[in-house]
Chains A and B, each alone.
Chain A
Amino acid sequence: MTEKYIIKQLSIFSENKAGKLAAIAKIFLDTGVSIQAFNIAEANNFGVVRAIVDKPEIAFNEFAKQNYALQYTDVLAIKMKDVPGGLYEVANLLGGLGINIEYAYAFRTGAYGALIVKVTNPRAAAQKIIDAGLELLPAKDYNF
């Protein structure tokens, strides 16, 4: 039931050096893949580039071909109201449900915002979130 809410984020290993992000962005450009949401997590001299894109398989194959270390990571996109307190509502509810967020990042389109969250067990978490009355954005809107 919750499978349609599982979003395949690309997690790409990258060194923290000048020009690295450009090289990654170029691959999206060359493959005609559009980025919906994007985030970089950095530690010491390296990082993980996280991207939600419209055609993840095409991007994944090209990155793999070019020798990048990358993985799919299952994440959820929780719809947020684009008003003050929108994030509070979502975060407070997740806290109340005992769902621990490993990491999160947000994006906004014209009408609403969304919080991308990585949680330990996304399928079970998706069910709880829906049952609690929040809206999850289905993967097809982003990358299927």
Chain B
Amino acid sequence: MFWNEKMETLHGHALEELQLKRLKETISRTQNVGFYKKMFKDAGITPSDIRSLDDLHKIPFTKKADLRNGYPFGFLAVPMNQVNRIHTTSGTTGKPTVVAYTKNDLNTWSDLIARNLTMVGLKAGDIFQNASNYSLFTGGLGIHMGAEKIGCAVVPSGVGNTKRQIEMIQDFGVTGLHCTPSYAMHLTEVAEEMHANLESLKVGCFGAEAWSENMRRDLQNRLGLKAYDSYGMSELFGPGVAFECPEQNGLHIWHDCYIVEIIDPKTGENLGAGEKGELVVTPIMKEAMPFLRYRTGDITMLMEDECPCGRGQKIARLLGRSDDMLTIRGINVFPSQIEHALKNIPEVGDQFMVYVDRVNYQDELTIEVEMNKNVFSGELKDLSNLQTKIVKALQDTLSLRASVELVEPGSLPRFEGKAKRVIDRRVI
């Protein structure tokens, strides 16, 4: 089933022609952005130098750290009276990254989600439960708009209150579910404890964090649905950038909206199909915040084989990161953000370690803080208050719950050279 068969199956010359046209339009929009004007000047190029898709390589990359310097609206290419939505996503340090959408952007984005959900068999008549955070996280409103567009009855259940989520699936006869894969595992376990019958479910769309084939098998067997991988990021609208088709073998990335490159993250050289590297995307349908050659930091590869479904070239399921970004409970976190939040607490200082573990398929964040001799008052309640203060600081900056352990002076590792204070111990 297709939502937009023509665009989804566009190949060869026709696709390249459309990509070039849209690329040129995008480049022209970027010239409203100081960062890109300067980039072109520094690189000694003008928009008219980009005459073919190959010329794209003349343009330097845009990195997430560049977006930080544009906080909040430095990358806006349209006046505010054309902006229709603002989301934020985690930045590399203190400040978040802002992403903005025009009315057309929201329409393009929900159209892509509509393609994805249609591709996995959802349609009018389906009851679709979106167990995603509906605030600044793009997985809530983004998926919601697309599911409404294809005519599903959408249940905006949000996150948490798992028993109620399960009751709704049962009582409403929910057929489609969207959430993070780790929340899906949690839901599965609670449903089994409740002896709940979730046989109405047929499609699960899981994204925002990496998950394995083992986890897919587990989810499919225990929830009795087909589980599909969803890929996206706020900088490229949000979820919906790439999605699995019923073949469940790689993700279709929408080539009419995104020009895809795979590069060697060290040299920046382009790599061919079948070679693992960093995904670099130039979104060519974005109006409010156009980006050129955006380095996603995600490691994947372009797949060589054509897909029997007739859609375009796929990328492999994500194989890791080229930087140190972590995804914890679906939230992107840079170790630098955690360090920034902790160093702002005088009682904590420099001596802390952060551990990320996966316990029963749920991500757990543990902070060990070395007790600072100079601030120890001798009172237990002050220690408890410090714990609470650290938990709150992390909650405020990262929207993540953490457990804090206070440890004795001198018991944490000391580093010579670059400190590595954030340790990911998860086995996925």
User: Which chain A residues have a beta carbon within 8 Å of chain B's beta carbons?
Assistant: 11, 13-15, 41, 43-48, 64, 67-73, 102-103
Interface: B379 (CB within 8 A) = yes
Q: Which residues of B contact A41 (CB under 8 A)?
A: 380
Cα distance A71–B380 in the bound complex, in angstroms: 12
Interface size class of B (residues with CB under 8 A): 10 to 19
The one of B373, B381, B387, B405 in contact with A69, judged by C-beta atoms closer than 8 angstroms, is B373
- Beta-carbon contact of A46 and B406 below 8 Å: yes
Q: Which residues of A contact B387 (CB under 8 A)?
A: 44
Q: Which residues of B contact A13 (CB under 8 A)?
A: 371, 376, 383, 406, 408
- Beta-carbon contact of B407 and A71 below 8 Å: no
Q: Which residue of B lies closest to A48 (CB)?
A: B380
Q: Which residues of A contact B371 (CB under 8 A)?
A: 13, 46, 69
Which of B377, B380, B381, B409 has the most A CB atoms < 10 Å from its CB? B380
Given contacts A43-B383, A44-B384, A71-B377, 10 further A-B contacts (CB under 8 A): A14-B408, A46-B407, A47-B380, A48-B378, A48-B379, A68-B373, A69-B371, A69-B373, A70-B378, A103-B380
Q: Which residues of B contact A103 (CB under 8 A)?
A: 380
- Beta-carbon contact of A48 and B407 below 8 Å: no
Q: Which residues of B contact A46 (CB under 8 A)?
A: 371, 383, 405-407
Q: Which residues of A contact B408 (CB under 8 A)?
A: 13-15, 67-69
Q: B250 → chain A, closest Cβ, in Å?
A: 44
Cα distance A102–B373 in the bound complex, in angstroms: 22
Cα distance A15–B370 in the bound complex, in angstroms: 10
> Can you list the 8 inter-chain pairs with the closest CB atoms, starting with the nearest?
A11-B378, A71-B378, A69-B376, A69-B371, A69-B373, A73-B378, A67-B410, A41-B380
Q: B352 → chain A, closest Cβ, in Å?
A: 14
Contact with A along B385-423 (1 / 0, CB 8 A): 001000000000000000001111111000000000000
Q: Which residues of A contact B9 (CB under 8 A)?
A: none
Cα distance A33–B99 in the bound complex, in angstroms: 64
Cα distance A69–B383 in the bound complex, in angstroms: 12
Within 8 A of A (CB), among B334-383: 371-373, 376-381, 383
Q: B417 → chain A, closest Cβ, in Å?
A: 23
Q: B174 → chain A, closest Cβ, in Å?
A: 39
Q: Which residues of B contact A43 (CB under 8 A)?
A: 380, 383-384
Q: Which residue of B lies closest to A73 (CB)?
A: B378
Q: Which residue of B lies closest to A20 (CB)?
A: B408
